Amino acid sequence: MMDLFLQMAIIMGLKQTLSNCMEYLGPWLAHKCRSMRAKLGGTAQGPELRHWQQNYLLNPVNTFSLFDEFMEMMIQYGFTTIFVAAFPLAPLLAFFSNLVEIRLDAIKMVRLQRRLVPRKAKDIGTWLQVLEIIGVLAVIANGMVIAFTSEFIPRMLYKYRYGPCRQGAHPAVDCLTGYINYTLPVFYTKDFQDPVEKEGSENVTECRYRDYGNAQDHNFPEQSWVLLAIRLAFLILFEHVALCIKLIAAWFVPDIPQSVKNKVLEKKDQRLREKMR
């Protein structure tokens, strides 16, 4: 979790900042170079020709420019949602980064690049399905992170099944007493393949490791399988609850507001009345 936390901090903090700078500095430097070469060759005479020359000196755009912008948003959305349990500050950093990027993209598209050819589109197309798939993967990934990396489920299992409070509440006793020894099984040094070479000056006879195992045969005990079953049950329950909330929110918030639908129908009705007249 710490490695994932550091990677997400670098991606959401440093990488996004450098990406925004490079996305703006690249077109800006290209536009400056084209303008300097045009000044050396001479400027056009007349206001109309000068205006046309300014538009011509803007950076050309390709058909995949919007594709790259959508791809960048999808990657950011994936990092923000899938690994939010490991780095909770990811949505906040993504929000600030998008605020800056909106202004930089506006300046780049208005002042530094030529105008795109407008085309009609009903929605964002396949990107909507990509967002839905990322949302489902985010629910599964966050459920697995919470179930298999956090101490929430092992603590609750020990507290109510194996701890001192398993028979009932004991106000004078902490219900997590002995939890550390419960999670650190014993391994005897005499069980090494060559115990003579492993012995040191400390004369250590046993050591502990972070896992679940029997000291006699080193197999998984009953509590490890019970814990795995509870983790899988929590993952399934968490996934279903989160997806149900997502579906309910999508049902309450339609893609097209009802007021917009009514205005579209009103315009269609007006056009039909005009044709009938």
Q: Is the pLDDT of residue 38 over 80?
A: no
C-beta neighbour count of 58 within 10 angstroms? 19
Q: Are 231 and 223 in contact (CB under 8 A)?
A: no
Q: Is the pLDDT of residue 99 over 80?
A: yes
Question: Are 84 and 169 members of one domain?
Answer: no
pLDDT at 44: 60
Q: Is the pLDDT of residue 183 over 70?
A: yes
Q: Which residue has the higher pLDDT, 241 or 178?
A: 241
Long-range (24+ apart) CB contacts under 8 A made by 73-78 are: 74/127, 74/130, 74/131, 74/134, 76/16, 77/131, 77/134, 78/134, 78/137, 78/138
Question: Are 10 and 130 members of one domain?
Answer: yes
Is residue 53 one of the residues assigned to a domain? yes
Average pLDDT over residues 10-16: 87
Is residue 21 one of the residues assigned to a domain? yes
Give dist(CA 186, CA 204) in Å, integer. Answer: 12
207 - beta bridge partners? 187
Is residue 171 one of the residues assigned to a domain? yes
Give dist(CA 158, CA 184) in Å, integer. Answer: 13
* Beta strand spans in 223-268 (E): none
Q: Is the pLDDT of residue 20 over 80?
A: yes
Q: Tell which residue, 21, 40, 84, has the closest CA to residue 242.
A: 84
Question: Are 160 and 110 members of one domain?
Answer: no
Is residue 264 one of the residues assigned to a domain? no
pLDDT at 86: 83
Question: Are 31 and 156 members of one domain?
Answer: no
Question: Are 19 and 137 members of one domain?
Answer: yes
Of the CA atoms within 13 Å of residue 19, those in its CB half-sphere come to 18
Categorize the per-residue pLDDT at 220 as very low, low, confident or very high, splitting at 50, 70 and 90: confident
Task: Give me the number of domains the chain comprises.
Answer: 2
User: In angstroms, what CA-CA distances link 206 with 42, 131, 209, 213, 220?
Assistant: 86, 52, 10, 14, 18
Question: Are 14 and 129 members of one domain?
Answer: yes
Range of the domain at 176: 151-191+205-252
Q: Is the pLDDT of residue 201 over 60?
A: no
Average pLDDT over residues 47-52: 72
pLDDT at 202: 62
Is residue 270 one of the residues assigned to a domain? no
Q: Are 238 and 136 in contact (CB under 8 A)?
A: no
Torsion-angle region of 178 (φ positive above 0: left; ψ -120 to 50: alpha; else: beta): left
- What is the rounded average pLDDT for all residues in the chain? 82
Average pLDDT over residues 143-157: 84
Question: Are 176 and 85 members of one domain?
Answer: no
Average pLDDT over residues 87-109: 90
Question: Are 35 and 129 members of one domain?
Answer: yes
Q: Which residue has the higher pLDDT, 264 or 62?
A: 264
Question: Are 100 and 89 members of one domain?
Answer: yes
Categorize the per-residue pLDDT at 95 as very low, low, confident or very high, splitting at 50, 70 and 90: very high
Question: Are 82 and 167 members of one domain?
Answer: no
Average pLDDT over residues 232-241: 90
